[in-house]
Amino acid sequence: MNRPEEIIEAMRGLRARGFVVGTVGNASVRIADGLRITPSRRDYDAMGPEDLVDVDGRGRVLHGGHRPSRELWLHLAVYGARPDVCAIVHTHSPYATAWSFLGEPISPQTEEMSYYGIGRVGVAPAAPAGSPELAAAVAGSLGTAGAVLLHGHGVVAVGADLATAVTAAEAVEHQAHVGWLLRGAPAPLAWDGDVHTGEGGLTWRD
């Protein structure tokens, strides 16, 4: 199980790399009775383990003096749908967030996505932040992948632990960055296969 300090360290690291702005973004880990999640509107630099909030499977606070992140329902829905997931990070990294407005899966599939087993990153339908509708959309659209885009919103990345979830978020941002670079090229290349296995080939997009 991840130490409470690891949740805070993960969010500080993501903010330092521009994946979140201010107190936006959140992270959680699965615990025996539910989940442990970052609190709402708390500065990550000033945050200590005592500021994290433990919540049961119905969303009731078990421990902590702050309100849990407003995306609590999203986290609960993902854990309910994916027994293999033990950590979640939600980021607003710029390239991936920009891509989320397109409403289409990120392309091309970079080597990192195959190497880390993240799979195809789809897009969950738009819904208000913090709403049950967004929670259901994310859990349904994530499927068995390691990450999903939230339409016009950002990224949810998951893993067996926090390090894996953070790596998935980094890989998604890298893939989105590569995708935007190709879209800006005079004649961007489209990959119709898997970079890691070498299946498929490159074709010119006219």
Active-site residues, by number, are 71
Identify how many contiguous H helices and E strands the chain contains and give both numbers: 6, 10
**Buried b / exposed e across 174-200, counting CB within 10 Å, b at 16+?**
bbbbbbbebeeeeeeeeeeeebeeeee
Query: DSSP letters of 108-151?
Result: S--HHHHHTT-----EEPP--TT-HHHHHHHHHHHTTSSEEEET
Tokens representing 24 are 């936006």
